[in-house]
Amino acid sequence: MRLKDKVALITGGAGGIGRATAELFAHEGAQVVIGDLNEQAGQALAAALAPAARFDKVDVTDRQAVQAWVDAVVEQYGRVDILINNAGLLRDAQFVSVKDGLLMKQMSESAFDAVVAVNLKGVFNCAEAVAPHMIRQGGGVIISASSVVALYGNFGQTNYVASKAGVIGMTKVWARELGRKGIRVNAVAPGVILTEMTEKIPGKFLEDMKAHTPLGRLGQPLDVARAFLWLASDEASFVHGTVLSVDGGLVFGT
């Protein structure tokens, strides 16, 4: 019961890492608020975890919608103790491909904008919405999902790497600004985690990533959920402004 009586918001909470985090947090005593666009999955999860969870359909790229969501949560529960910025999007493509001097293909502007809108602006929107409430109540915890690729880069992921590297940068800034207000801010950098998102990744790539992972396996959603739990709990009360890698020791090649 490490999160007993805590109110935890989890974006992208209807599936994958978010779902595992919601289940674990509820088990540890938190009142979980699941935010996601997948209404069917979110409602089913909230029902399964009832009365320790509720679901709200929310688009993290919509600043006004996010603010209304957070305000409604505070109105119902009186506070918000934990924000897990987990919502994420992939739109992989090679930055630019040239053959025999001719441009063959490149990453589209729409693919870049879509990923940055969810992975970076969405994190900004949610954190900025909860921060004033946390300041007024005397503290809180903000944890955002970055990625191992933000630290090392990855082929075909200019947009994703840029967004996740930005999350690390914002985490460092918020740690400086919000720490004095009693708000701890950290990020988690997962490696390759087997979720619905990775089902679209070619098996050959996954096998290659497994071969480059010293622990000899790919990650499970619960691996990351446990990292979120530790950082959200009082056990990590002096951990602030850090990026915790949860990647099995993954070493990227080129």
CA distance 135 to 26: 24
Q: What is the 3-state secondary structure (H, E, C) of 105-154?
A: EECCHHHHHHHHHHHHHHHHHHHHHHHHHHHHHCCEEEEEECCHHHHHCC
Tell me how crowded residue 73 is: count the other CB atoms within 10 A of its CB: 23
Furthest C-alpha separation in the chain: 63
What is the per-residue burial (b if ≥16 Cβ within 10 Å, else e) of 129-158? bbbebbeeeeebbbbbbbbbbbbeebeebb
- The token pair that represents 101 in the structure block: 């001097």
Residues 170 and 243 sit within 8 Å (Cβ to Cβ): no
CA distance 103 to 97: 6
Question: Coil, helix or strand for 64?
Answer: helix
Triad 143, 147, 150: Cα angle to 5°: 115
Q: Which of 225, 192, 245 is nearest to 22 (CA)?
A: 225
Residues known to be catalytic: 160
